[in-house]
Amino acid sequence: MLWGGMAGGGLEIRRKSGGGVRLAGRFPYNSRAVLSDGGRTGRPRKEQFAPGAFSFSVESEADIHLLVGHSFDRPLASRRAGTLALTDTPEALTFAADIASEMEEVSHVRDALALLAAGQIAGISPGFRIPPARTVPNAETVEEENPAEGNAIIRTINEAILFELSLVTRPAYPETEVQKRNWTPGGVIRPALHHSARWR
């Protein structure tokens, strides 16, 4: 499984009046992440997701999870449980997850919410696979960056099979922010950004 990521994606937390927590966030399309600066002698590598890259998974009935740190041992919500809703738009993949008050008694859930509140969880990262070329011939494309912008190699993911979304501490995509909200709107936390992801 491959991982991508971005800082926040408009991630927000709302305390529900009847108990429990709602998490919501977005993973924007056409947002480039620097996966590698190329080191001393190589070329930078960048990655972006085309609009609708996750549409097949969103429209299917496949179970998709919201996790902490890409660990299926640390689930927060899932479509099968009826606690995770996904929406695909031309601008972004968005999600809303309801975490029941009983779930807040689970240690990894309690820890994740505390890290979010402290600004230590900085964003969202999808766990995905590229479909085989025999099934989707142009699932990904690789091209040269516009010389006016740089000399990077840019991979565009046109179609991906989404298995999970994760809350992570070091996302790759820098063009978003993380918000912490209680039931009434709160402030915006702007975390330090880090460029890291897997290029495969």
For residue range 63-101, list pLDDT tens digits in order: 999 999 999 999 999 999 999 999 999 999 989 899 888
The number of domains in the chain is: 1
In a domain, 188, yes or no: no
DSSP 70-99: TEEEEEEEETTTT-EEEEE-SSEEEEEEEE
Element housing 114 (H / E): helix 107-117
In a domain, 70, yes or no: yes
What is the pLDDT of the chain when averaged over all its residues? 80
Element housing 22 (H / E): strand 21-28
In a domain, 53, yes or no: yes
Res. 174: pLDDT tops 50: yes
Burial label, 49 (beta-carbon count in 10 A; 0-12, 13-18, 19+): buried
Res. 41: pLDDT tops 60: yes
In a domain, 190, yes or no: no
CA distance 63 to 73: 16
Res. 175: pLDDT tops 90: no
In a domain, 189, yes or no: no
Residue 145: which domain range? Answer: 2-178
pLDDT at 60 (0 to 100)? 95
3-state helix/strand/coil string of 123-188: EEEEEEECCCCCCCCCCEEEEECCCCCCCCEEEEECCCEEEEEEEECCCCECCCCEECCCCCCCCE
In a domain, 198, yes or no: no
Res. 185: pLDDT tops 60: no
In a domain, 50, yes or no: yes
In a domain, 125, yes or no: yes
The neighbour count for residue 148, using CB atoms within 10 Å, is 5
Element housing 66 (H / E): strand 65-68
